[in-house]
Structure formats: C-alpha cells, structure tokens
C-alpha cells in the first residue's frame, strides 16, 4: 500500500475494556462516576482559586491550569467511551480517531510540562524566597503556560501528521477504549519504522526533559531545606511542595507502570486496563491531593461554598488571577 493512502478506511472499532454486557454496565457506572468527580472536583479547584484573592499567586495559577488540563484530558476519551457503551456501538470515525489522538497527546504533554513548571515554581519559592515574587511575575507565569501549550501542540501535531501518512485496513479493531498512539502505529498496514523512531525521540525530549527538570528542582529544594536550622522551618518549607511532589510521583509511577506492563505482558488489553490509572484515576485524585493537604485551599473552598454569587474564571490571559493579595 502507498503511504498516506487512507481512502480505504473510514472508521475504526474501539473494543473497550470488555465485551461482556454485564461488565459493560459496571464499567459505564464506574467511569461515569469517576468522570463526574474529575469534572466537578477540578472545576471546584478552578472556581476556588479564581474567587479567593488569597490564592491569586503563581502556585495556584499553575494549579488552576493543571485542573483545566485534567478536565480537558478526560473529556477527550471518556465521553466517547460512555457513548459507545450506551449505544452498543464500537465505531469511531477515522477523522474522529485522529482528532481524539491529537487532543489526548496534547493534554498529556501539557500535564507533563506543567508539572515541571510547577516544580520550578516551588524551587524559586523555597530557594529564592526574597526574589520569588519579582522573578515569578504575572508576565513570566503566563509566558511559561503559553510556551507549555505551544510545545505540547507541536509535539501532538508531529505525531498526528506521522499517523496520517500510514495506511490501515478496513474495520480495524483497536484493543483500547480510545485511539492510543502506539496501538495506531502498530496496527498500520504500511511501514511504521519512521513513526517508531519519531515516538522514541519525542518521548526522550518531552518525557526525559521535564522529568530531568523536576529532579533538578527538587535536588535544589532538598539542599535548601537541609540548610534550614529549625525543624518547624523545614516542615513548613517541605509542606509547600508536598502535594506537588505526591502528584508528580503518582503521575510518573502510573505512566511507567503502564508501559512496563505493556512491555512485559505484550497484551493490548492489559495496557488498556493499566492506562485507566493515568487517564482517569490521576485526574480524579489531583483535586483531593491539593485540597485535603492544603489549609488555604480548604478555606477557599469553604468561602466559595458560602459565596452568594459565583464568578466564572478565565484561566489564561487574565491579570487578576496572578495579583498578589
């Protein structure tokens, strides 16, 4: 087949997590519940940060963006899965599959880069507290988020264009609940060597790069905390980055677990089940991690709950989100 000749394929079949009707009913209820928790939990974080002037700081600005990304990421995959279960259909169009894959990679890359940006923010807050607000000014914070979006969009566009050059047979079955990049490449009927090379190189650049930045930031943070003489000072410094460190650990552990399970078992179904951890479970846990371990966030949520009126936030490009109370 000629590369790029995709006229013979108009749709794919998403096989999901199970074909048993009784299991599908359980999956529908479980994933619908988790999706609602993700949306409302992260939306509460966004609204609380927007409505409370005490949280108009760089750290919470990045957190509100992370919550927005988590909502968008799960909305890319879960609604289509729920719709297919409800309608007893496995079909997703070729265009819909490419679009889903693009946005899933986009928001996944944003998650990775933004976690690195948040680590840099914690490094500046702990290691350079006197210059923190001067360095982490509103313009720099907006620029960091904008650069994150641009890098992730280019990363996602590269993979999508590489998949567009591949050919697929009709009625191609994807053993997953969404159009996952690796499976798309493996299922192609044309030569995918170049795609695999690009995936490896891109994974090194966008995967290892942010992770190395996080390791560097936290190595400096640990060094600075070690120099603090009082135990109370050490605890206070560590508590400011504990939630982020927990989220980073869960993120990379789940992603690593998915790829290790896929490499060991060589089973697409096992990979699909394992991917639930970072596609749904992680975005669902983030609001709990950042709210239950954070007194300021708890107070903000209480104030927001008692507010007579609610103002909807705009996450990007608004100066007020970054003003310091």
DSSP state of 322: G
- Domain limits, the chain: 11-317
Q: How many CB atoms lie within 10 A of CB 227?
A: 10
Identify the CA nearest to 194 among candidates 172, 163, 167: 163
Identify the CA nearest to 257 among candidates 265, 156, 151: 265
Give the pLDDT score at 196: 87
Average pLDDT over residues 8-26: 84
d(CA 176, CA 294): 36
Q: Is the predicted pLDDT of residue 314 greater than 90, yes or no?
A: no
Give percent of the chain with pLDDT exceeding 70.
Answer: 86
Cite the DSSP H helix spans in the chain: 21-51, 58-87, 94-127, 132-135, 138-164, 181-187, 193-203, 209-227, 231-265, 268-276, 282-292, 295-306
d(CA 174, CA 306): 47
pLDDT tens sequence across 207-228: 788 999 999 999 999 999 888 8
Q: What angle do CA 15, 21, 24 make, to 5 degrees?
A: 60
pLDDT level of residue 266 (50, 70, 90 thresholds): low
Structure tokens at 107: 């928001």
DSSP-derived pairing of the beta strands 11-14 and 172-174: parallel
Cα distance from N-terminal residue to C-terminal residue, the chain? 62
Average pLDDT over residues 304-322: 48
Among 17-31, 91-105, 197-211, name the most confident range.
91-105
Strand order in the sheet with 91-93: 91-93, 11-14, 172-174
Note every long-range contact of 206-213, with CB atoms under 8 Å and residues 24 or more positions apart, other chains counting: 206/109, 206/112, 206/113, 206/151, 206/152, 206/155, 207/112, 209/116, 210/112, 210/113, 210/115, 210/116, 211/112, 211/116, 211/252, 213/116, 213/119, 213/120
pLDDT tens sequence across 23-80: 899 999 999 999 999 999 999 899 888 887 788 899 999 999 999 999 999 999 999 9
303 or 116, greater pLDDT: 116
Give percent of the chain with pLDDT exceeding 90.
Answer: 42
CATH class, domain 11-317, is mainly alpha
């Amino acid at each position: 087949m000629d590369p790029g000749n995709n006229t013979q394929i108009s749709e794919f079949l998403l096989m999901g997590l199970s074909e048993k009707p009784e299991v599908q009913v359980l999956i529908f209820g479980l994933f619908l519940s988790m999706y609602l928790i993700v949306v409302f939990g992260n939306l509460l974080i966004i609204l609380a940060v927007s409505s409370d002037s005490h949280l108009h700081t760089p750290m919470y600005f990045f957190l509100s963006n992370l919550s927005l990304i988590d909502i968008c990421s799960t909305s890319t995959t879960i609604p289509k899965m729920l719709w297919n279960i409800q309608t007893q259909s496995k079909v997703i169009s070729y265009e819909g599959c490419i679009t889903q894959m693009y946005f899933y990679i986009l928001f996944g890359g944003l998650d990775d880069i933004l976690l690195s940006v948040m680590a840099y923010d914690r490094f500046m807050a702990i290691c350079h507290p006197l210059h923190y607000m001067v360095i982490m000014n509103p313009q720099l914070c907006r620029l960091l988020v904008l650069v994150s979006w641009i890098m992730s969009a280019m990363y996602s566009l590269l993979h999508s264009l590489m998949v567009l050059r591949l050919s697929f047979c009709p009625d191609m079955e994807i053993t997953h609940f969404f159009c996952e990049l690796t499976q798309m490449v493996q299922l192609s009927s044309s030569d995918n060597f170049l795609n695999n090379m690009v995936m490896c190189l891109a994974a090194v650049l966008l995967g290892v790069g942010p992770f190395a930045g996080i390791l560097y930031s936290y190595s400096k943070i640990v060094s600075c905390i070690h120099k603090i003489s009082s135990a109370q000072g050490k605890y206070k410094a560590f508590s400011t980055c504990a939630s982020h460190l927990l989220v980073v650990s869960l993120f990379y552990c789940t992603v690593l677990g998915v790829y290790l399970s896929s490499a060991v078992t060589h089973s697409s179904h096992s990979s699909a089940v394992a991917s639930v951890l970072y596609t749904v479970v992680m975005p669902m846990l983030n609001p709990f991690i950042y709210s239950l371990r954070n007194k300021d966030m708890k107070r903000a949520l209480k104030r927001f709950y008692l507010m007579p009126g609610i103002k909807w936030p705009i996450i990007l490009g608004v100066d007020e989100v970054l003003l310091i109370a």
